[in-house]
Amino acid sequence: MRAVGVPAVLAAVVIGAFGAGPAHAAEKHHVVYEVWGNGGSASLVYFDGSNTLKDSAEVRMPAKVEVDNDSADPSYEITAQTNGKGEISCRITVDGVVKDTQTAGGDATVVSCSAV
């Protein structure tokens, strides 16, 4: 059996951990954020197509926001708060696949959906 030197082992570990080829280009993903409930309106905070937080106050429910995300490390998240009492739900769909759905209820209720 042939002995392997430390540089060869270290190179194998580094290549295994970080990959040997060039970084892949970011893919574009179509993201649909949805919020609905019986509270009438809601305030929304969500990640747009470049992973920047956006907010919308006093949006009538049901609400739908669509973005195309082409970030190399995309984040999908929406948080909504009712502007009254009631139940509120959110959903995130990425490329036609539902990634998260949540529901909450009460006074000035907050609900959050997220996916990676």
Q: Please, are residues 93 and 68 in contact by the beta-carbon 8 Å criterion? A: no
- Residue 12 maps to a domain: no
Tens-place pLDDT, residues 65-105? 999 998 888 989 999 999 888 899 999 999 999 999 999 99
Tens-place pLDDT, residues 25-78? 678 999 999 999 987 899 999 999 888 999 998 899 999 999 999 888 898 999
- Residue 18 maps to a domain: no
Q: What is the pTM of this model?
A: 0.76
- Residue 78 maps to a domain: yes
- Residue 56 maps to a domain: yes
Strands 85-94 and 97-107: antiparallel
